[in-house]
Amino acid sequence: MLIYSIIFPIISLIAILVFFYRYRSGKNSFSSFLIWTIAWIFVIIFSIYPDSSLVFARAFGITRGLDFIIIVALVFMFYLGARLYYKIDNLQDDVNKLVKEVALNNEISLDDEEE
């Protein structure tokens, strides 16, 4: 048995437990917990049974299992990048609204102090 067949499942189980703890404490949503759990389960499956990636690859018309894993990893990273971009954009809008509101409140209070 190869060393990655032992190390990757252990790391994956630890990651699933961490995400479960974060979900239970309210830091992650259930959908986030579910997506990450599925991703880590696939890591466990592919590390214990490396030939199983061929089954998934052939289902999508890809000839090699490693190519399938790399493509899925890239798609997953692009998805996470898009989600991060969306969240940062929303945070930037919220900060702009907050700054405008604080500026308007300070302008009103400055006018009151001058009188």
pTM: 0.70
Q: pLDDT band at residue 106, thresholds of 50, 70 and 90?
A: confident
Classify 62 in phi/psi space as left (phi over 0), alpha (psi -120 to 50) or beta. Answer: beta
pLDDT at 115 > cutoff 60:
no
Q: Which long-range contacts does 75-84 make (Cβ < 8 Å, 24+ apart)?
A: 76/39
Give me the count of residues in the chain: 115
pLDDT in tens, 57-101: 999 999 998 899 999 999 989 998 999 999 999 999 999 999 998
Task: Report the mean per-residue pLDDT for the chain.
Answer: 89
